[in-house]
Amino acid sequence: MHGLFVTGTDTGCGKTEISLGLMAAVQTTGAKVLGMKPVASGCVRGPDGLRNDDAVRLRAQGSSEAPYGLVNPYAFAPPIAPHIAAGEAGIEIRLPTIEQAYRALAGEADQVIVEGVGGWRVPLGPNLFVSDIPGALGLPVILVVGMKLGCINHALLTVESIQNTGGVLLGWVANQVDPTMLSRDANLATLAALIDAPCLGVLPWLEAPTPSELAGYLHPELTDLQPRHAAKLATIQTRTETRSETRTGKRRA
């Protein structure tokens, strides 16, 4: 199975746009790709149930029409932190449910682009965080840096957290979310000097970009980087599975 996990410096940094661009980039190679947003809040109820706009867009960009329940297993109506929304709904967000949905999608595609919710350390429950998902799925991480005032601090803290929590950082993408940002190039230079991972794309401020337009700003190197991390990812996934089994054993005891 191959894929990528897309996280961000914060909410609104452009994770969905970059995920759509990544999907379009994969599709130019002739490979089949599907998108996934395991957890989403701020969903709207319609005739088919709760739907999240980001998840709907990821599903529409897919090379085939995947069931919505696989693309977005956990959907919550209030536009609030997911662990709070889940608590109010009386639902426990569980990794096995996310893993099962991911495996189903991976069985129908060459790549699955998985978008996180909020930032890297957003809690999903008392003992579960967004940062636990890529390890469980065996996916490397791409960090989307929302280019605006304060982004250097947000980016460096997120990179440190990814490294300290066992994530495999494939690279980062700069996405200009503030059209009036001052000294953008100087900020980019600082980030490039301080982040120990390659910059895989720099996106300017774009009004309403299409996925194919976004793909044009991403480096082709992306598809070459993934296999290099295969052994490390396998080790991390084994450790994640072992921790999960240990926790399960403790509960049963």
* Domain count across the chain: 1
- Is residue 119 within 8 A of residue 39, CB to CB? The reply is no
Q: Going by C-beta distance under 8 Å and a sequence separation of 6 or more, which residues neighbour residue 143? A: 7, 8, 9, 120, 155, 158, 159, 162, 169, 171, 172, 173, 197
Give tens-digit pLDDT for 22-47: 999 999 999 999 999 999 999 999 99
At 155-207, the pLDDT tens digits run 999 999 999 999 999 999 999 999 999 999 999 999 999 999 999 999 999 98
CA end-to-end distance (rounded Å), the chain: 34
Residue 12 one-letter amino acid: G
Catalytic residues: 37
- In terms of residues, how long is the chain? 253
Confidence check: pLDDT of 220 > 80: no
- Return all residues near 38 (Cβ < 8 A) that are at least 6 apart: 72, 73, 74, 98, 101, 102, 114, 116, 117, 133
Angle at which helices 151-164 and 184-194 pack, to 10 degrees? 20
Q: Round to whole Å and give the CA distance between 136 and 241.
A: 7
Q: Residue 107 maps to which CATH number? A: 3.40.50.300
Q: Which domain holds residue 226?
A: 2-252
What does the pLDDT look like over 46-62, one tens digit per residue? Answer: 999 999 999 999 999 99
- Rounded distance, CA 39 to CA 114, Å? 10
Which pLDDT value is given to residue 132?
97
